């Protein structure tokens, strides 16, 4: 099944396939969202609160990869937040699940073909920066791709964008400022940082974390960067927000576990939701500005 799905999204006609999936989704709802949310590990519950929602299982969407990871619902939810139409991915697939980079980023392409102009990507990440406390919300300023590959590798299709896309301003400055401002207004402990992406699924060694810190990373995680690269390639504006669910390996004299990650996301979930509710109208306003 996985191999069939791989062949389907691995071909040169990803554009046609993304268009087909987008058309399928559009046929299920009258809403035409310009803002997408990718809700990471343990953060998917927000989409259960949307008004006038249409929910579509990833399995039903042509060529959409469906997640095997724990805590991921695997559902697209289109609905209203603060009077603004949004489309949310309740769960994402990861490279470590064995999907190709084309499959991991296919949903982002579909969102763009649906007319999405801005994406808010959320994730759980390990804190490398010792100023961050567990549970802190961190607005991404930049990233370092340590995944050893790039989702744009393959035959260049100019319908998506240029061959060598610029990444100097991958994380939208206006969105970043708005997120920090709204977070502070809510009294949340907010930071900005550089996200290092690794493949996982094993967590890092303490030596790797020291290396990433020297390289300028504040956070480490196993997602987001492929989606950011593909989104920017298509001209979609990006806001990235991490929940620092744990101190990265070796920062504290203790072991890491996925349970700790889930416990922290559960604890911080209501703050994260409040931040997203405040940020979405700001992003919508920014999209309307000339
Ligand atoms: N490392 C990598 N990915 C993660 C971590 C971590 O410490 N915490 C949550 N996702």
For residue 74, the SS3 value is coil
Tokens of 257: 């576990």
Ranges assigned E (strand) in 158-289: 190-197, 219-221, 237-247
Span from the CA of 45 to the centroid of ligand 1 (angstroms): 20
Instruction: Kindly report the CATH number that applies to the domain delimited by 2-288.
Output: 3.40.50.1580
For residue 206, the SS3 value is helix
- Helix (H) or strand (E) run with residue 118 in it: strand 118-127
Q: How far apart are CA 224 and CA 221, in angstroms?
A: 8
- The residues spanned by each domain of the chain are 2-288
Pairing mode, if any, of strands 219-221 and 118-127?
A: antiparallel
Q: Could you identify the atom of ligand 1 that is nearest to the CA of residue 198? A: 2
Phi, psi of 51 (to 5 degrees): -85, 155
CA distances for 113 relative to 11, 17, 23, 26, 123, angstroms:
17, 10, 8, 10, 23
Span from the CA of 232 to the centroid of ligand 1 (angstroms): 24
Q: How far apart are CA 128 and CA 24, in angstroms?
A: 41
Span from the CA of 222 to the centroid of ligand 1 (angstroms): 7
The count of C-alpha atoms lying within 13 angstroms of the C-alpha of 95, restricted to the half-sphere facing its C-beta, is 22
Q: Could you identify the atom of ligand 1 that is nearest to the CA of residue 127? A: 7
| Tens of each residue's pLDDT in the chain, 290 residues | 344 444 445 555 999 999 999 999 999 999 999 999 999 878 888 999 999 999 999 999 999 988 665 455 689 999 999 999 999 999 899 999 999 999 999 999 999 999 999 999 999 999 999 999 999 999 999 999 999 999 999 989 999 999 999 999 999 999 999 999 999 999 999 999 999 999 999 999 999 999 999 999 999 999 999 999 999 999 999 999 999 999 999 999 889 988 888 889 989 999 999 999 999 999 999 999 87
Look at ligand 1, atom 7, and give the residue with the nearest C-alpha. 126
Residue 166: exposure state from Cβ atoms within 10 A (0-12, 13-18, ≥19): exposed
Span from the CA of 197 to the centroid of ligand 1 (angstroms): 9
CB 5 within 8 A of CB 96: no
Pairing mode, if any, of strands 237-247 and 118-127?
A: parallel
């Amino acid at each position: 099944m996985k191999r069939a799905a791989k062949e389907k999204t691995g071909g040169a006609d990803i554009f046609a396939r993304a268009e087909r999936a987008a058309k399928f989704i559009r046929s299920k709802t009258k809403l035409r969202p310009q803002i997408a949310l990718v809700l990471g590990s343990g953060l998917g519950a927000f989409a259960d609160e949307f008004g006038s929602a249409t929910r579509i299982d990833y399995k039903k969407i042509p060529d959409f990869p469906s997640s095997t990871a724990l805590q991921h619902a695997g559902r697209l939810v289109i609905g209203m937040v603060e009077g603004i139409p949004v489309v949310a991915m309740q769960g994402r697939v990861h490279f470590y699940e064995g999907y190709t980079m084309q499959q991991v980023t296919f949903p982002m392409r579909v969102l763009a073909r649906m007319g999405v102009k801005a994406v808010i990507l959320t994730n759980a990440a390990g804190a490398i920066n010792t100023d961050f406390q567990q549970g802190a919300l961190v607005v991404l300023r930049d990233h370092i791709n340590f995944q050893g590959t790039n989702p744009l590798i393959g035959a260049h299709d100019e319908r998506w964008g240029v061959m060598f896309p610029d990444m100097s301003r991958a994380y939208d400055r206006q969105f970043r400022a708005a997120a920090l401002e709204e977070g502070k207004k809510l009294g949340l402990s907010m930071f900005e940082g550089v996200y290092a992406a690794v493949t996982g699924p094993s967590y890092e060694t303490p030596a790797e974390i020291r290396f990433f810190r020297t390289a300028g990373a504040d956070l480490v995680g196993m997602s987001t960067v492929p989606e950011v690269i593909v989104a920017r390639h298509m001209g979609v504006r990006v806001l990235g927000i991490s929940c620092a669910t744990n101190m990265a390996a070796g920062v504290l004299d203790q072991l890491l576990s996925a349970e700790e990650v889930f416990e922290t996301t559960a604890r911080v979930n209501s703050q994260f939701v409040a931040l997203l509710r405040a940020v979405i109208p700001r992003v919508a306003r920014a999209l309307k500005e000339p």
